[in-house]
Amino acid sequence: MAGDGKAVAAISPAVQALVAQPILTVVGTKRADATLQLNPAWFEFTDGYFWLNSNRWRTWPKNVQRDRDITLNFIDASEPFRWASIHGRLADVIPDPDHEFIDRLARRYSGRVFRELRPGEERITLKIEPVSVTGEMI
């Protein structure tokens, strides 16, 4: 969890400007068999953390909860060779039973609330603490 002795990465103004755009992130996690899993996802960067939301039963959030490690990759749509990659660690998992956070993300990306939840679907919000930042032109 947060505060385990690892330094928290400072997010430069250039990276902050990049992630302020409603672009997707590519989420990188490690499966139980150690292979890499990549998924596109909506996100928000607020208060120094990256916030993501998913169905509790999907594989990538399970991977993050098991290992606590995650990589988020961001590519500038207007200049594809401008990108940032954030290695992060899971700071918290927050239930989203009223889908308030996913609705906020949906408004950011689509201008409307999220779709109707499927029977048995449980949304969770993952709070990700940045540990290191790499990239080009950041």
- At 3, the pLDDT band (50, 70, 90 cuts) reads very low
Mean pLDDT of 43-54: 97
Structure tokens at 96: 């989203």
Complete domains list, the chain, with CATH = 13-136 (2.30.110.10)
Instruction: Enter the pTM of the model.
Output: 0.91
Average pLDDT over residues 39-61: 96
Q: Is the CB of residue 99 less than 8 Å from the CB of residue 77?
A: no
pLDDT in tens, 88-111: 999 999 999 999 999 999 999 999
What is the pLDDT averaged over residues 122-132? 97
Which two structure tokens, joined as six digits, stand for 74?
């961001």
* C-alpha to C-alpha distance for 55 and 76, rounded to whole angstroms: 27
Mean pLDDT of the residues in the chain: 93
Residue 131 contacts residue 8 (beta carbons within 8 Å): yes
